[in-house]
Amino acid sequence: MIKGKKKKSTAITQQNLEESREEILAKGKKFRYPFQYAKHHLVIVTIIISIIALLVFCFIGWFQLYKAQSTSDVIYRFTRAFGVPVAKIDGVNVRYSDYLMLYRSSIKSVERQQGALDNSEDSQRLKDYYKRRALDSAEEYSYAMAKLDELGKPVSEAEIDAVVNEHKTIDGEMRSDDAFNGIIRSNFGLDMGEYRHMIKLSLAKKNYSAEIDSRANSLSDEISEALKGTNDLKAVAEKYVNNDIMEYESISELVDSSNLDSGRAAAAFALKNVGDVSERFVSKNGDGYYFVKLTAREGNSVKYDSVWVRFTEFRNAIEKIRSDSKVEEFIEVEAGASNDENDASK
């Protein structure tokens, strides 16, 4: 009997399934590994491109800020978003955005009065002057804010609100938000958030100056005590005529109650009767204390006498910091013009 070939079993067993799976996986590896490599390569290339793009972006930003010193809207928004420094004073960072805000608002005010500045030598000198002034102010404001924070006496929102409401009020009526926003945008190029921040900076310097000035506090306390028994402001001032931080002044002509005189006309107008003397108050620009006596009133106009007790300790502290080389500036700013016709703040 002739024996035929043994037929291969077609029965499905666990062993057959394992062999079939191994065979399929082995065939699929030649497709799997090339795709894995391509995916890994794509991730590496993406990371490298992202790093290069970031480095290019940082370089362009650094160049525009610290070399070209751009003051454009884009650069200003960039500095507000990222909080980059423009200087350091006694270890305190000075925000680039504060410097640009102060500079841009000053230039906006100048151009509103004198017309757009061009690339002429005179215009460049004027720009340099306002850059220098803005940087000096930003350094002083930053230092004052840091010191107030250390004392646990930061500027409050209520203080800012009070100043904003005062600025919004004219002839006893408060402007609407829309009207006031339009005014600060037109005059200074600021929105309300920026305007409030500028007020906060100014209040910080004002509050810290009053906080640390022991000479001005002591002298003004003496004057306050002397005035309790008299309204003769001039006679009281004469007792301190040789004091280098005190100054007496008598206004002989009527001025409007909104006169720009550090708040003296407004304080005089607020007094009830001619001959009344005000309590001590800090000047609007934060340079000292004032006492005001109302000597005449006609409508919204007043005459007044005033005693000014100057703040000196904050200025002395800043000058010492500068003389000790504790100010590091990351941009070069020239002094620029400083004559009266170029100073729009006067």
pLDDT at 326 over 90: yes
Q: Which residue has the higher pLDDT, 69 or 102?
A: 102
In this model, does residue 171 exceed pLDDT 80?
no
User: Using 50, 70 and 90 to split pLDDT, how confident is the model at 346?
Assistant: very low
Per DSSP, 330 falls in state: S
CA distance 16 to 14: 5
The backbone torsions φ and ψ at residue 301, rounded to the nearest 5 degrees and listed phi first, read -110, 150
Q: Summarize the confidence of residues 301-323 as an average pLDDT.
A: 97
Q: Which residue has the higher pLDDT, 72 or 5?
A: 72
Residue 56 has pLDDT above 90, yes or no: no
- Output the pLDDT for position 337: 47
pLDDT classification of 42: cutoffs 50, 70, 90 = confident
Domain boundaries, the chain: 19-68, 85-212, 214-311
Strand bridging mode 288-298 / 246-250: unpaired
Q: Which helix (H) or strand (E) holds 244?
A: none
Average pLDDT in the 234-243 region? 94
Average pLDDT over residues 308-330: 97
Q: Is the pLDDT of residue 194 over 60?
A: yes
Q: What is the mean pLDDT of residues 175-196?
A: 94
Q: Which residue has the higher pLDDT, 26 or 242?
A: 242
User: Mind listing the pLDDT tens digit for each residue in 72-98?
Assistant: 999 999 999 999 999 999 999 999 999
Confidence of residue 25 (pLDDT cuts 50, 70, 90): low
- Which of 32-41, 317-326, 336-345 has the highest average model confidence (pLDDT)? 317-326
Work out the average pLDDT over 254-262: 92
Per-residue pLDDT band at 14 (split at 50, 70, 90): low
Structure-model confidence comparison of residues 12 and 163, the more confident one: 163
66 vs 37: which has the higher pLDDT: 66
Say what the pLDDT of residue 1 is: 44
Per-residue confidence (pLDDT) for residue 58, from 0 to 100: 73
Tell whether the torsion through CA atoms of 36, 40, 43 and 49 is positive or negative: negative
Residues 34-56 as b/e (b if ≥16 CB within 10 A, e otherwise) read eeeeeeeeeeeeeeeeeeeeeee
Confidence of residue 110 (pLDDT cuts 50, 70, 90): very high
Q: What is the CATH number of domain 85-212?
A: 1.10.4030
Please give the Cα distance from 185 to 260 (Å, whole number). Answer: 21
Six-digit token string for 212: 């640390």
Contact 138, 333 (CB under 8 A): no
Looking at the predicted structure, is the pLDDT value of residue 332 above 80?
yes
Q: What is the pLDDT of residue 15?
A: 61
Q: How much is the average pLDDT of 161-165? A: 95
Amino acid of residue 63: F
Other residues' Cβ atoms within 10 Å of the Cβ of residue 130: 25
Whether the model pTM is above 0.75: yes
Q: What is the mean pLDDT of the chain?
A: 87
Q: Which of 5-9, 111-115, 132-136 has the lowest mean pLDDT?
A: 5-9
- For residue 227, give the DSSP letter: G
Which tokens go with 311?
């703040």
| pLDDT at res. 144 | 98
